[in-house]
């Protein structure tokens, strides 16, 4: 896999609006304190907003599960989780097909 140059990563981190990115993934963010935003964490079963975004720094941190990082890590983590769920759904579908084939 080609590696992205460090300078390019820095540029992306600098130019990405993390709050907008998080919102684009369907997570609602509300003001939290003077500079932060808070929403429900997508990385664990969250029933209170423990996912904190600091737009000034472009960083996120979850007080519930400890997930933390920048915009790139957010996308990697978020899309990775979605991949696993998709894989899980696919496996479940596949397994029920196998069972049906055996029992039919």
Contact residues toward Zn ion (CB under 5 A) are 41, 43-44, 62, 64-65, 67
- Closer to Zn ion by Cβ: residue 13 or 44: 44
- Label residue 1 exposed, middle or buried (CB < 10 Å: 0-12, 13-18, 19+): exposed
| Min CB(66)–Zn ion separation in Å | 7
Contact yes or no for 55/19 (Cβ under 8 A): yes
Between 62 and 71, name the residue whose CB sits nearer to Zn ion.
62
Minimum CB distance to Zn ion smaller for 51 or for 58: 51
**Is the separation of the CB atoms in 27 and 40 below 8 Å?**
yes
Query: Considering the complex, what minimum distance in angstroms separates the CB of residue 81 from Zn ion?
Result: 11
Shortest Cβ 55–Zn ion spacing (Å)? 18
């Amino acid at each position: 896999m080609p590696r992205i140059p460090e300078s390019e990563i820095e540029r992306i981190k600098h130019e990405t609006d993390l709050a907008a990115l998080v919102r684009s993934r369907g997570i609602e963010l509300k003001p939290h304190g003077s500079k932060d935003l808070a929403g429900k964490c997508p990385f664990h079963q969250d029933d209170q907003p423990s996912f904190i975004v600091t737009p000034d720094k472009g960083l996120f941190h979850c007080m519930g599960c400890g997930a933390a990082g920048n915009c790139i890590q957010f996308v990697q983590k978020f899309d990775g989780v979605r991949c696993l769920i998709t894989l899980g759904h696919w496996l479940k579908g596949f397994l029920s097909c196998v069972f049906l084939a055996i029992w039919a």
